[in-house]
Amino acid sequence: MRLEITMIVIFCSQFIRAIIERKNFGLHRCTSRIDDLKSAIERIVEEIAARSNCIIFITDTTYRGLIDVHSIEMSSFLSKYDIAIRDNQDFSRSRKLTRIFEHIKTVGCDAYVILIANGLLTSRFLQYAERERLINTRGRFLLLHDNRLFRPELHYIWNRIVNVVFVRRYNTYKYRTGEQIAVERIDLETIYYPSPMKDFTAIKYIDTWRNGRLRHGNNHYISKTSNLRGNGLRVAVFEHIPAVTEASRNHYQGTIADSKALGIEFELIRIIAKAMNFKANYYMPFNIADDKWGKAGDNDSYTGLLGEAIAGKADFFLGDLHYTIHNLNYFDLSTPYNTECLTFLTPESLTDNSWKLLILPFRLNAWIALLCTLLIGAGGLHVFALVYQKYIGSRPKRDNMEGLYLFTGFQNSMLYTYGMLLQVSLPRLPNTWTVRIFIGWWWIYSILVTVIYRASMTATLSHPVAMYNIHIQDILVTIDSLTQLTKSSLAVGGWNEEGKEFFLVSSDPHSQQIGKKFELIENEKDAVDQVANGTFCYYENSYLLRHIRGKRIFEEENGQKNKNEKDTGSVKYNLHVMEECVVHMPIALGLEKNSPLKPHVNLWVRRMTEIGLVRKWLSDVMEWSKINESRQKSNSETALVNLRKLYGAFIALGIGYFLSFVALFGEIIHWRYVVLRDPKYDKYYLDIYYKNENKFKT
């Protein structure tokens, strides 16, 4: 009996010892797993810290004490932030958390260690932070692997966050005789970029943590955007001068390519595609010609390039995008490659003003001053002549009175004074020194006035329309400033709501007035037709407006050559580009929001801008417009004086004939109804009649 009890006690003690050893082995194995995970993460953190100046640790309650930041070898100048996330964290309502991330972003942090056990919580955080642009998506990321992070609806996240390493823990089994031993394995993985499949995130193995070290130990954050290995990227195209021309279609729609200019942005993408080794898959979004850059529609829908960007359908967006806050909310914009002048296309009157040639050289105030001076000068000479005749003419020396008769009569004084103004010499120079001195200075005045008049008339003949802003039916011949545009009665507008908002929020009073009457117009052709009819001013960049003007000149020339197919006489106004720029707008390439390609794209854009390729491509785009404008100038023959430019001379001659005939008819009437009816009139003694008339008047 005692032996059985002893055996039972021994068996129980051995059983209890086995249970305790197995428990200790499990605890040891769990501790070993935690130590391996901690060591692997610390090794990657050291790699990140060596290339960053700031690092952020985002942890939950499970992994909050896993990493000892002070034990990791880091630079003393490295900034570190430790952010705790609750298991039920609502990121959209946490203003404090948002302010923290905004501050961290301004500091310039570009490294994120995210240790959250719940993959759904991690995905919500990434979606929120990416949408609000609270993190630098082009930085370096370290996350725990979780299959819930790679759902199809999160695929766009891994098209923007590409410098990422996932720490994956799983068990492997070693088979021995009669037993299975579970061994934990820690792998490091990353994603493929660009993704080979749509809505599917492909994972790539890069390294393994084993026996306290990394198997390969190489660089785990290799650049994935410098060489895209021939993968295809979608490029949304909106044809807009000077970014993209219609001729670019021949290069991506399979038709025969020609030597026409393709546009600045199209050429930029061609060079960038070769440098970064990707294939550009061009396409034009549906109804892009009408929607253009796009705007908000019904049910939170968007059109144009804006709709393509929000839907994430393309990697690049070509369409002359302005570098504005509005566009930065939906796109990533590259370094600006050009600055465009935004101005108005205004009507230029075709009304001929050659009939005003005699008065065009001087303005109204100059003519008034000239006529007043003429009256004062003629009156002064007449007064001097009368004073000499009355007070000095009775003296014995009458030699000084010779030639004074030219100015004793007021009519003669006016005619001779006007003749001197036209550089017609006097029949005799008076001997009176007072009159001589006055006439000498009057000659100097006449020479200056006639030289100025001739020079101004020469300029008027060379540029008969553009020299002066003449009001015709409340419309300026040319409108070249915002002040003139504000004073005119013309309607103004464009197709972009952002342009109208720009004028309304401006501090300039003229811009505010333009913003109040700014009209939104969708059809560009209708807007140009209204400008040609003299009722509208169209707002766009100066390059596009010059292209529109050149196109209109080309169409008018073809219409004249084809037996006047187009009635150009019905159009009363040419197209004119306002000289004053409303704003100088930077222009940039469009990329997908938070695109990882932006650093390399910026590099190549700067290089091509610095070496002058952008300027060369711009010159190629505008060459066709310049040729058409030069043709219009050559056809006008402004350097020759034709019959039309002599209208003023004929009008002056006609006025002279008219006044002469009026004077002739007046004399005939006076002869018949006054002289012939005078009882003292005798046709045989006319000398006696006129002698008596003069005595009577005296």
pLDDT-based confidence at residue 14 (cuts at 50, 70, 90):
low
Q: Kindly compute the dihedral angle of the four CA atoms of residues 457, 459, 461, 464, in this order, to the nearest 10 degrees.
A: -110
Q: Which of 1-15, 139-153, 265-279, 342-356 has the lowest mean pLDDT?
A: 1-15
pLDDT of 696 above 60: no
Peptide bond into 194 cis (omega under 30): yes
pLDDT of 474 above 50: no
Amino acid identity, position 541: N
Closest CA to 143 of 168, 121, 120: 168
For residue 141, give both structure tokens. Answer: 């990321």
Residue 409's pLDDT is: 77
Q: State how far the Cα of 678 lies from the Cα of 379, in Å rounded to an integer.
A: 34
**For a pLDDT cut of 90, what percent of the chain falls above it?**
23
Total Cβ atoms within 10 A of residue 651: 15
Rg (CA), the chain: 45
pLDDT-based confidence at residue 10 (cuts at 50, 70, 90):
very low
CB-neighbour burial class of residue 169 (10 A; exposed 0-12, middle 13-18, buried 19+): middle
Pick from 201-210, 264-273, 641-650 the range whose average pLDDT is largest. 264-273
Q: Are 555 and 628 in contact (CB under 8 A)?
A: no
pLDDT-based confidence at residue 272 (cuts at 50, 70, 90):
very high
pTM beyond 0.75: no
DSSP state of 672: I
CA 29 → CA 21, 145, 198, 684, distances in Å?
Answer: 12, 21, 41, 155
DSSP H or E segment with residue 586: strand 583-591
- 3-class SS of residue 472: strand
Backbone angles phi, psi at 342, to 5 degrees: -90, 120
Beta strand 316-322 pairing with 140-144: unpaired
Per-residue pLDDT tens digits for 173-189: 555 555 555 567 889 99
Amino acid identity, position 297: G
Rounded mean pLDDT of the chain? 80
Q: Are 64 and 87 in contact (CB under 8 A)?
A: no
Q: State how far the Cα of 644 lies from the Cα of 654, in Å rounded to an integer.
A: 15
pLDDT of 562 above 50: no
Residue 589's pLDDT is: 95
- 3-class SS of residue 371: helix
pLDDT-based confidence at residue 473 (cuts at 50, 70, 90):
very low
**Three-state SS letters, 375-412:** HHHHHHHHHHHHHHHHHHCCCCCCHHHCCHHHCCCHHH
CB-neighbour burial class of residue 540 (10 A; exposed 0-12, middle 13-18, buried 19+): buried
Q: State how far the Cα of 543 lies from the Cα of 540, in Å rounded to an integer.
A: 8
Phi/psi class of residue 473: alpha, beta or left (left: φ > 0; alpha: ψ in -120 to 50)?
left
Residue 395's pLDDT is: 53
Per-residue pLDDT tens digits for 278-290: 999 999 998 888 8
Helical H runs in 184-312?
264-276, 288-291, 304-311
Residue 28's pLDDT is: 42
For residue 410, give both structure tokens. Answer: 């007021």
DSSP for 560-584 reads HHTTS-S-GGG--EEEEE-SS-SEE
pLDDT-based confidence at residue 21 (cuts at 50, 70, 90):
very low
Q: State how far the Cα of 281 lies from the Cα of 354, in Å rounded to an integer.
A: 57
What's the rounded mean pLDDT across residues 62-75?
A: 72
Residue 9's pLDDT is: 43
Which residues make Cβ contacts (< 8 Å) with residue 544, sequence separation at least 6? 240, 241, 242
For the stretch 36-39, contacts whose Cβ atoms lie closer than 8 Å and that sit 24 or more positions apart, written own/partner, are 36/184, 36/186, 36/209, 36/212, 37/66, 37/167, 37/169, 37/186, 38/66, 38/67, 39/209, 39/212
Per-residue pLDDT tens digits for 578-620: 888 999 999 999 999 999 999 999 999 999 999 999 999 999 9
The residue ranking higher by pLDDT, 496 or 315, is 315
For residue 83, give both structure tokens. Answer: 């952010």
Closest CA to 209 of 86, 37, 46: 37
Per-residue pLDDT tens digits for 506-529: 888 888 899 888 988 888 888 888
CA 369 → CA 315, 363, 364, 375, 450, distances in Å?
Answer: 68, 10, 9, 10, 14
Which residues make Cβ contacts (< 8 Å) with residue 340, sequence separation at least 6? 320, 541, 542, 543, 584, 585, 587
The span from the first CA to the last CA of the chain, in angstroms, equals 182
